[in-house]
Amino acid sequence: MPHKAILASAALAAGLTLTACGSGGGSAASAGSGGAAAASTPPQACLQQYRSWNSGPEHAAGENLVTALNSLEAALSGSDVATTGAALQDAGQAAKVLALYPIPKCADPKGYWHAGLVRIQAAADNAGSAKGQQVLTLAEGALKQMPVLDRQLAAELKQTVPRLNQNK
């Protein structure tokens, strides 16, 4: 079962990376505007914010998270607890870095992006204090909601950034 959970988190990370790597750049400071503005941001303005955010340093951070989760998947398939623990720590660190570049609030007003990153970080934190097979069990528990978060984020983006998949 841990293998399924990690695959799900890899899928979310890929989704988050696609979300993060869609288009246009910004800094973490400019990307995370307030909640009241998010509700009133017109779709075209949100699309521009999102594309701007997406072309910045979060693209590389998202790629690093996907790479870390792929390494974690490989470690799990080898059933090596020590390697899996180290790979999970790497994924947690990559998620922590990616969290420095929040998605524009207008695109994700319900916070699914942040929730996914927090789950990955929590799995890494839990695994850091676990021993042996417990590493895999803790990772599974922390990551099992990842597919749900992925679907929720995708559905939310269709609503908040409806022209996202169209060419600029």
DSSP for 111-144 reads -HHHHHHHHHHHHHHHHHT--TTHHHHHHHHHHT
Beta-ladder partners of 54? 25
CA distance 30 to 125: 29
Tell me the whole-structure pTM to 2 decimals: 0.72
Q: What integer pLDDT is reported at residue 140 of this predicted model?
A: 64
Q: 68: which 2 tokens? A: 């870390």
Query: Domain residues of the chain, as ranges?
Result: 2-19+47-160
Q: pLDDT tens digits for 33-87?
A: 344 444 566 777 899 898 888 888 888 888 898 898 888 878 777 777 888 888 8
Q: 40: which 2 tokens? A: 């009133």
Q: pLDDT tens digits for 132-164?
A: 888 777 666 656 777 888 899 999 998 998 887
